[in-house]
Structure 1
């Protein structure tokens, strides 16, 4: 039986970055701009970082945002004949934006062609959401709780209830908002692309406060 290992937490990834560079917590704090007390709590998995702070760490340490989502192993060869990941909300990487609360699942797997995300949708209208967004690939959305209105560039808005789903071309402008009478909707989204760098493409959307 193949041995099982838990996906690395953000704390483990941050600790690994610090260890590889031979930095103390104080040195890591100085370089990243994150207080020592906060870094200590993150490394011990007692605290997570907001998207803004993750972006700050990425920029100041000159690493990609996606590198904070999982630790690279010793062997970076893409020649993998079988792999798996068990995703839970407890080990999901959380990203909060104006419109959504994202929970990225199975972040221990690198170079994925599908990105699974559980998302809480808070925006209640297209005007509140802002401009429609676009990114590479396709996406599938299944409504777990509540109901949503899907606004797209080439179609009239459509209501999707709990237990229903929608599949769209992600290059088409789109936005998901909570339907009238629904304070917060929860959906499972799976984004897919034949191109490399899908995770970075999705993360870059958060820079504009209007994600997927």
Structure 2
């Protein structure tokens, strides 16, 4: 599947459910302005707010990246990967995150596995987020800064981190070079 704009997918699921932006913002606990900017691709959210939107729409986070097809087993070949979701701060800025879903095609999954390409971003764009569940990250390229509550770690290739994602956290490229990670996110229903 070619990369689609996140905002278009969110809008489609909201409209399919007959919800207004106001209803979605209330159900997700986010502002109407946030929902509007998200749908118009004027911002990209961290995983936390995106999971709140998914929960309010009664879909898995991965639904924004794949079609609801159940298939076992799922094999994701490195050479066949295309970005399923590209997130950027605003239309005119380069992508900060490119998500490659490693579980698309399996609609009954309980985890969201991703390969994520991370571009460096300005310090002022780095925001903590939180959501229910757990995250596991394996760094494969570059250096990755993880802020977890009041702690900060810089991970290098081969390093991993596993944490409860209810604690406010941030994951991003450290320094001026891009990074790549594998991330598995568990989000309880």
TM over 0.5: yes
Q: Give the Cα separation in 2 of the matches to 1:162 and 1:57.
A: 38
Q: Give the Cα separation in 1 of the matches to 2:141 and 2:105.
A: 26
Please, which runs of 5 or more residues in structure 1 have no aligned partner? 1-9, 11-46, 74-81, 197-212
Alignment match, 1:112: 109
Shift of the 113–127 alpha-carbon distance from structure 1 to 2, 3 Å rule, reads: same
Q: Give the Cα separation in 2 of the matches to 1:120 and 1:114.
A: 19
Question: In the TM superposition, what whole-angstrom CA distance separates every residue of 1:66-112 from its partner, at most 9, and x where no partner exists?
Answer: 27722356xxxxxxxx9421123536661111331111112111231
Alignment match, 1:161: 156
Contact 2:120 2:176 (C-alpha < 8 Å) held by counterparts: no
Normalising by structure 2, report the TM-score.
0.63
Query: Which structure shows the bigger proportion of residues in strand conformation?
Result: 2
Alignment match, 1:41: none
Contact 1:92 1:106 (C-alpha < 8 Å) held by counterparts: no
Alignment of 1:35-114 (within 5 A): 47-62=2-17, 66=63, 69-72=66-69, 83-88=72-77, 90=80, 94-98=84-88, 99-114=96-111
Contact 1:134 1:172 (C-alpha < 8 Å) held by counterparts: yes
* Count of residue pairs the alignment pairs up: 139
Kindly report the root-mean-square deviation, in angstroms, between the aligned alpha carbons of the 2 structures.
Answer: 2.6
Please, which runs of 5 or more residues in structure 2 have no aligned partner? 19-56, 89-95
Q: Give the Cα separation in 1 of the matches to 2:65 and 2:161.
A: 30
Normalising by structure 1, report the TM-score.
0.57
Cα displacement (A) at 1:48: 3.8
